[in-house]
Amino acid sequence: MPNNPGELTAASVRVVTDPDERTCAAWAYGAGAPLIANDDHRLCHRDRLGVTVLTPSAFWRDCQRSNEER
């Protein structure tokens, strides 16, 4: 799984307008886990969020690749 690409800051989450989505980004960051999203808004700002954002299919590919390496 990818590591968090940066630091989660108030400025980085401002691009997420929904408070619930900000909470999800903070949970993902705190857990060192990717945020799984199929939402164009989050996907187009993924480089500014401070947390790795993956589509469900990209997450699934990463999981399969990770299992093959074991």
1-59 pLDDT per residue, tens: 444 556 666 666 677 777 787 788 888 888 888 889 888 777 777 777 778 889 999 99
Q: How far apart, in whole angstroms, are the C-alpha atoms of residue 3 and residue 17?
A: 24
Write down how long the chain is: 70
Q: pTM score, two decimals?
A: 0.68
